[in-house]
Amino acid sequence: MNMEEQFILSPARQLTDAEKELIWRRPPSHKASEEELRICREIKRNWNRGEMKIANILLEGDAGSGKTQLAKALSARLGLPYTKVTCFADMDKTDVIGAILPVVSRESLEKMEPEEQKLLKALYESDGFQSAAEILMDVLGVSQEQAALRMKKLLKLAAENTEGEAVEYRFYPSEIVRAYQKGYILEIQEPTVIRDAAVLMALNSALELDGSINLPTEIIRRHPDFIAVITTNRNYAGCRPLNEALRDRIQHTEKMDLPPKEVMMERAAAKTGYRNREVLDVLAEIIIVLDKTARANAIKGVAGMRSFFYWADAVAAGASARESLYHKVIYKITTDSEEIRLLEEALTSQGLLASLEEVELEVKKTKC
**Is 7 contained in some domain?**
no
Written as tens digits, the pLDDT of the chain (368 aa) is 445 677 999 999 999 999 999 999 988 778 788 899 999 999 999 999 999 999 999 999 877 778 999 999 999 999 999 999 999 888 888 888 888 888 888 888 888 888 888 888 888 887 666 777 888 888 888 888 888 888 888 888 877 777 766 667 888 888 999 999 999 999 999 998 888 888 888 888 889 998 888 888 889 999 999 999 999 986 555 456 777 888 889 999 999 888 889 889 988 998 899 999 999 999 999 999 999 999 889 888 778 888 999 999 999 998 999 999 999 999 999 999 999 999 999 999 999 999 998 888 877 776 65
Alpha-carbon distances of 99 from 20, 162, 168, 276, rounded to whole Å: 27, 16, 14, 53
**Is 1 contained in some domain?**
no
| Amino acid letter for position 107 | E
Q: How many domains in the chain?
A: 3
Domain boundary among 205, 238, 256: 256
* One domain for residues 85 and 198: yes
**Is 156 contained in some domain?**
yes
For residue 230, with 0-12 CB atoms within 10 Å meaning exposed, 13-18 middle and 19 or more buried, which class applies?
buried
Supply φ then ψ for residue 331, to 5 degrees: -70, -20
Domain boundary among 167, 185, 211: 167
**Is 98 contained in some domain?**
no
* One domain for residues 143 and 286: no
**Is 3 contained in some domain?**
no
Length of the chain equals: 368
CA distance linking residue 97 with residue 31, whole number of Å: 35
* One domain for residues 197 and 59: yes
Q: 297 is in which domain, residue-wise?
A: 261-367
Domain with residue 29: its CATH number is 3.40.50.300
* One domain for residues 236 and 152: no
* One domain for residues 221 and 278: no
* One domain for residues 242 and 321: no
What is the distance, to the nearest Å, from the Cα of residue 195 to the centroid of all Cα atoms in its chain? 19
**Is 201 contained in some domain?**
yes
* One domain for residues 334 and 216: no
* One domain for residues 180 and 82: yes
Backbone conformation region of residue 141, classed left if phi is above 0, alpha if psi is from -120 to 50, else beta: left
pTM over 0.85: no
Domain boundary among 204, 223, 256: 256
**Is 96 contained in some domain?**
no
CA distance linking residue 306 with residue 272, whole number of Å: 12
* One domain for residues 223 and 286: no
* One domain for residues 195 and 271: no
Reduce the DSSP state of residue 141 to 3 states and report it.
coil
* One domain for residues 281 and 188: no
